[in-house]
Structure 1
């Protein structure tokens, strides 16, 4: 990877981080949990992409970053499902004790 390509990739990463941070801050708290549960599918795609990146035979920087991406995306997917499960428990009717 050339120096210009690395600088371009870092620029896109930093810019997307700022845009994502601003977008998440604009979401009202009542919509944050449903948005999180809807984002699980996107995180699942990120896990698959990270597995493809880290599947190389030689140990390079991209393999290490792909492995870190697999771990972080998996944590995001599991956390999203836990939040969704907790949200769905709020809609269950409570049993009446006799």
Structure 2
């Protein structure tokens, strides 16, 4: 039940600004929420949803879950490379380049560790030779 509520709140949080904010902004309602706070709220809800999704997966499906996690990290690497290359677009983008580089390093470590864990999990299913 809690997972369903959290998933619904996350979907509502993603869709709401595109629909509600322009409609209520003309009336002065709902325009007072800072976008940074809103993004932090979506991030916090995504943490809860991710936690419940991962812990509700049966042990037999952990290997495919790791493979999907590695694929998501690959997308993060692409975003980090784009953030590193943002200097061509704006002046004073040192902070963006720094965060992009840190994201690139951390996602690369995550991908390497994920593949290492996945290979160990797959090795458990192989028959041992005598």
Aligned positions of 1:4-43 closer than 5 A = 4-43=34-73
CA distance in 2, matches of 1:93, 1:21: 32
The alignment's TM-score, normalised by the length of structure 1, stands at 0.75
Q: How big is the shift at 1:64?
A: 2.9
Q: Counterpart in 2 of 1:80? A: 114
| Structure (1 or 2) with the larger CA radius of gyration | 2
Q: How big is the shift at 1:17?
A: 1.2
Higher relative contact order (CA 8 A, sep 6+): 1
Q: How big is the shift at 1:52?
A: 0.7
Aligned positions of 1:53-92 closer than 5 A = 53-57=83-87, 58-60=93-95, 62-92=96-126
3-state SS of paired residue (1:52): helix
Report Cα offsets for 1:21-73 as digits up to 9, x if no partner: 1111111223212210232222111111111112222212x333322221221
Q: Which structure has greater helix proportion?
A: 2
Contact 1:44 1:73 in 2 (8 A): yes
Q: Which runs of 5+ in 1 are unaligned?
A: none
Q: Counterpart in 2 of 1:49? A: 79
CA distance in 2, matches of 1:6, 1:63: 20
Q: How big is the shift at 1:18?
A: 1.4
CA distance in 1, matches of 2:58, 2:127: 26
Q: Please report the RMSD computed on the Cα atoms of aligned residues, expressed in angstroms.
A: 2.1
Q: Which runs of 5+ in 2 are unaligned?
A: 1-32, 88-92
